[in-house]
Each structure stands twice: as structure tokens, then as C-alpha cells.
Amino acid sequence: MRQGVLWVVVLCGAGLGFHCASPEFTTAKIALGQRDYPKALRSLELETQKNPGNVEAWILLAQLRREHFRDYTGAAQALQNARANDKAGRWTQQIAAEELALWVAVYNEAISLYNALAVAAQPDPERLAVAQRLIELAVRLKPDVPDAYGILGTLQELSGDTTAALQTFARYRELLQPLLEAHRRVGLVLGMTRGELFQKLGQPAASRAFPTETDTLFVDQWQLEGEPLYVFSAGAGAQARVEGWRYRAPQHWTQTERERYSRLALQPLVSAAIALLDRGQLEEALGITREILEFKPDNEQGLALLLEIYERQGRTEELVQLLQQLRERFPEKTTYTLQYAILLTKLERYSDAVSLYEEVLRREPTNELALYNAAVAYKNWAGKLQQEELEKRRQNPRYQEQRERYAPLLRRSAELFEQYRSLPGKREELSVLDQLVNIYEVLPDPGKLNRLVAELEGLEPLFRTQARYYEILGGIYARRGQKEKAQQYYDRADQLRKQQ
């Protein structure tokens, strides 16, 4: 006991200077040493009520509520009181350290809840509300840290408040502007290697490494225009990949806050651009999309957004140029080749389009998108040439139609549609059956047409509620001159349409 009393007396002299600790504060510290946290909590709450000027007590109360009771709101209030009573600024660093520890705890718990909500088929409203309250607390604690705004905006979207989400995403974007400035000055991009980083910036002024279970995290520091630049990378040595950076941090941040490892999340910007796109605010969406691609030039969502915006704005030539560039930059990515081919199909540049589709099919013979769109492109190309032949005959009745101009294209289209039908789940796709009927009638190919018609008639139980099914069969029999049978199918289609 004497040793305990002596420890308290020494602490009183060292920690509080001219004033001895109150009984409540002494009891609280002894309880903390004995890990009797409920007793320590009661004593600290009594102490802060009786002696609100005891800044150390407020800090200890905040730490206790955070670490052992997960009372994050109470901890935040205790820190607010600590700062308000620290008139001389003696405890500034300790308050800042505890505030950062509280922010990390709140943010991490909110992230855990968010991750569970993100994979849920139907997010639980109560858990969503808890996660949102936590992340709102993180924002109040550190209003100039961007990380929490991205999560908050996403949670607001999940709860159906897109207007609030867009405002939050706008603040997130605003806080990322210093990072964009660093990118524009020295060419920093997400995913570049640490070796490439050193080539651009030279050897860092300081470096720290933190081994983890799977990787090593690196924090490298340079001076850029008189301001510290911190770059965060993960991986092995020079092959570590850049995951984020920090530039022009607020002056009041501690060194720990400035160096804290942080990953730059682009998904909040993607979500904001999509929401603006849905609202028809194309220029606003375009501005965000361009920033996404500055941070990471090969970001697939950003590139997809850029393509969508250009298409909606009717910027066809820019769209063509962009897809050409993407195909050249990423020849291994089938997506861009297919998007380029689809655009060329829309522009009726069929020869170029089918060449690209065939290129994809040589690499991926069962690519569903390539098979279907190639078949459509060949058929549309054939239709265009057929119309040219019909126009020539209209102008000159003696003109002999050159069926060989388009018949091979129709045969290739049919071949591709049949290959598409051989894929799992595609055998009975009505739109494809309709296309094939048309091709086999035009070629003509009676054998394949009769087989297909028999197959179509056998599918009536599957399509008995679809008017289009009966219209297809009605058209087939009408063109064969079987008017009575055709009428039966047309009547059935009319009945279904009236019921809809």
C-alpha cells in the first residue's frame, strides 16, 4: 500500500504541478492500473463533473470510453471538453493523438459495417443507420480528412438519399484537389511502381516500411514546391504499387496524421459520376470522370463512363478516337475491342466492325457478346447491300440482282447465330430464332428453315404468353401463302397484346 501511495504522490507532483489530485482522480488512476474499468469510468465521470478544468481527466475519460466501452460519441464529447479547457495549449498533442486514435476506431468500425452492408442483397436499415452515424462522427472528428466522406456518400446512396450523397461526394472531391495538384506536377498515378516513382522524383528524403502478413507498406516522403509529399505503396521493394498519396495537409495536423498510410478510393467519384449521369448532368459527370482518369488512366469504370458520356453527347468522332486509343493501349482487353466494334456497327462501318469481331472470336471462340454482335453486324451489312441491289433494279428493271454480294454475309451471320445458340442458356432465345428465320428465308435455305419452324412450334409452351412469338409464326405462314394458319397465329398475338 505504501508503494501505491508513494506512486500516486509522485504522479501528483509530476503530472499536475502545483495541485494535488482529487480523491476521484486518484481512485480513477488506481482503478485503471488494476484494470477495473467500470470503477475508473465512474471515478473519471465524477472528477470531470467536480473539476471540469482537469484536461488530463477528460483525455483519460475519452480513452477509456473508446478502448473499453466503445462509447465513441461519449469519447468525442470528452475530447471536445478537453480542448475547451486546455487554455494554455499544454495538452494539444495528447488531445490530437487521442482524437486520431478515436477517428481510426470509429472509421474502422464503420468500414466493417459498410463491407457487410455492401454484400447484402437487402441492406438492413438499422445497421445502415448505425454505420451512417459512426461515419458522420468520423467526419465531425476530422472534417478535413477525405476518407470518411467517400464512405458516408455511399451509405447515403444506399439509404436512398442521392441528393445528400452528391453533396458529400462533392466535399470528398474538393479534399482530393491537392492530390490532383501533385499528380499534375509530377505525374503521380495509382498503380505505378515504386521504382517508377523514384525515377520521377529521385530518392525520397525519408522512407518507412511496415511489414504486414501479405505485403510491405511503404511511406516515402519528398518535398514538392516547399510542401511535404507523402506517397503510400504496397508490395515488395521497387515493385510495390502506389495506392495513394498526401499533399498540402492542413497545417494543424500532427506528424502522425500527415504520415498515416492512406489508400485513395476512386469508387466515391465513380458513384458521383454515375448519379450525375442518371440525372442527365453530363458536363458535371464528365468533369469527375476526367479526374478519375487522371488518378488512374486505365480505370475501367472511368473509361466506361467517358464512353457513355461521349455517346450521349453525340461526340462520335471523339468516341471513335478514344476507342482506337484504348484498343491500342490495352490490346489484351477484349472489352475495348468489342466496344469499338459495336460503335463501328452503329456507324454502319460494317467491314471494319466484323473484322474486329472476327479478331476477338479467333482468341475467344465462345465469347457471347462477340458472337451475337458479329452475327447482327453481318446481317445488317447484308441488308444494306441487298437494299442497294433492289434500288439498282428499281432504277433499271433489266438489272440482274447480284446476290453474291450479300448472300455470303447472310450465311456467316447464320453460322454465328447458330454458334451463339449452342452456348448454355441461349438455345431458345426468341430474338435469335427470329433473325435466323429471316436469314433462311432470304438465302433461301428451305431445309434449315423447315427445321427451325418445327423447333419454333415445339416451343409454344415456353412462349405462350409472348405475342411476338405468335407474330413470328404468323409471318412465316403468311409468306408461305398459308393464310388461314397465319391468321390463327396473328389472332393469338392480338389477344395477348390486348391482355397486356
Q: At what angle do helices 282-295 and 300-313 cross, to 10 degrees?
A: 150
Tell me the residue range of the domain where 50 lies.
21-142
Confidence of residue 214 (pLDDT cuts 50, 70, 90): confident
Question: How many other CB atoms are there within 10 angstroms of residue 483's CB atom?
Answer: 10
Least confident of 14-18, 91-95, 224-228, 379-383: 14-18
Percent of the chain with pLDDT over 70: 96
Confidence of residue 20 (pLDDT cuts 50, 70, 90): low
With beta carbons less than 8 A apart as the criterion, state whether 350 and 377 touch. Answer: yes
With beta carbons less than 8 A apart as the criterion, state whether 83 and 58 touch. Answer: no
In a domain, 397, yes or no: yes
pLDDT of residue 198: 96
With beta carbons less than 8 A apart as the criterion, state whether 206 and 228 touch. Answer: no
**Cell triple for 245:** 498519396
What is the rounded distance in angstroms from the CA atom of residue 292 to the CA atom of residue 268? 10
Polymer length of the chain:
500
> pLDDT per residue over 244-285, tens digit each?
999 999 999 999 999 999 999 999 999 999 999 999 999 999
pTM: 0.74
Greatest Cα-to-Cα distance within the chain, rounded to the nearest angstrom: 123
**C-alpha count within 13 angstroms, C-beta hemisphere, residue 50:** 11
> pLDDT per residue over 350-399, tens digit each?
999 999 999 999 999 999 999 999 999 999 999 999 999 999 999 999 99
Residue 18 has pLDDT above 60, yes or no: no
Tell me, yes or no, whether 39 and 124 share the same domain: yes
Residues 6+ apart with CB under 8 A from 267: 150, 154
Tell me, yes or no, whether 433 and 414 share the same domain: no
**Cell triple for 248:** 498540402
Tell me, yes or no, whether 458 and 375 share the same domain: no
Tell me, yes or no, whether 121 and 234 share the same domain: no
What region does 265 belong to: left with phi over 0, alpha with psi -120 to 50, or beta? beta
With beta carbons less than 8 A apart as the criterion, state whether 281 and 313 touch. Answer: no
> pLDDT per residue over 142-183, tens digit each?
999 999 999 999 999 999 999 999 999 999 999 999 999 999
CATH number at residue 254: 3.30.1450
With beta carbons less than 8 A apart as the criterion, state whether 352 and 387 touch. Answer: no
Radius of gyration of the chain (CA): 34
**C-alpha count within 13 angstroms, C-beta hemisphere, residue 398:** 0
Tell me, yes or no, whether 433 and 379 share the same domain: no
Q: What is the mean pLDDT of residues 215-226?
A: 96
In a domain, 369, yes or no: yes
250 φ, ψ (degrees, to nearest 5): -55, 145
What is the rounded distance in angstroms from the CA atom of residue 391 to the CA atom of residue 398? 12
Q: Which of 242, 263, 284 is the last residue of a domain?
A: 263
Cross-strand pairs, 218: 209, 233
What is the rounded distance in angstroms from the CA atom of residue 403 to the CA atom of residue 197? 61
Please say whether the dihedral angle defined by the alpha carbons of residues 418, 427, 338 and 278, taken in this order, is positive or negative: positive
Residue 6 has pLDDT above 80, yes or no: no
Please say whether the dihedral angle defined by the alpha carbons of residues 419, 422, 423 and 427, taken in this order, is positive or negative: positive
> pLDDT per residue over 414-465, tens digit each?
999 999 999 999 999 999 999 999 999 999 999 999 999 999 999 999 999 9
Q: What is the mean pLDDT of residues 132-136?
A: 96
Task: Collapse the DSSP code of 226 into the 3-class scheme (helix H, G, I; strand E, B; otherwise coil) and give the result.
Answer: coil
421 φ, ψ (degrees, to nearest 5): -65, -20
What is the rounded distance in angstroms from the CA atom of residue 299 to the CA atom of residue 309? 15
What is the rounded distance in angstroms from the CA atom of residue 439 to the CA atom of residue 446? 11
Tell me, yes or no, whether 411 and 472 share the same domain: no
Residue 55 has pLDDT above 80, yes or no: yes
The answer to whether the bond into 444 is cis (omega within 30° of 0) is: yes
Tell me, yes or no, whether 25 and 133 share the same domain: yes
Amino acid type, 449: L
pLDDT of residue 54: 96
CATH number at residue 473: 1.25.40.10
241 φ, ψ (degrees, to nearest 5): -105, 140
Tell me, yes or no, whether 183 and 237 share the same domain: yes
> pLDDT per residue over 272-328, tens digit each?
999 999 999 999 999 999 999 999 998 989 999 998 999 999 999 999 999 999 898
Cross-strand pairs, 227: 224
In a domain, 135, yes or no: yes
What is the rounded distance in angstroms from the CA atom of residue 147 to the CA atom of residue 263? 9
Q: What is the mean pLDDT of residues 197-209?
A: 96
Q: Which of 213, 233, 263 is the last residue of a domain?
A: 263
Q: Which DSSP helix (H) or strand (E) runs through 222?
A: strand 216-224
In a domain, 29, yes or no: yes
Q: Which of 239, 263, 287 is the last residue of a domain?
A: 263
In a domain, 167, yes or no: no
**Cell triple for 255:** 506528424
CATH number at residue 414: 1.25.40
How many domains are there within the chain? 4
With beta carbons less than 8 A apart as the criterion, state whether 282 and 314 touch. Answer: no
Q: Give burial (CB, 10 Å; 0-12/13-18/19+) of 275.
A: buried
Check residue 7 and report its DSSP letter: H
With beta carbons less than 8 A apart as the criterion, state whether 91 and 56 touch. Answer: yes
Tell me, yes or no, whether 37 and 138 share the same domain: yes
Tell me, yes or no, whether 412 and 449 share the same domain: no
In a domain, 293, yes or no: no
Q: What is the mean pLDDT of residues 34-59?
A: 97
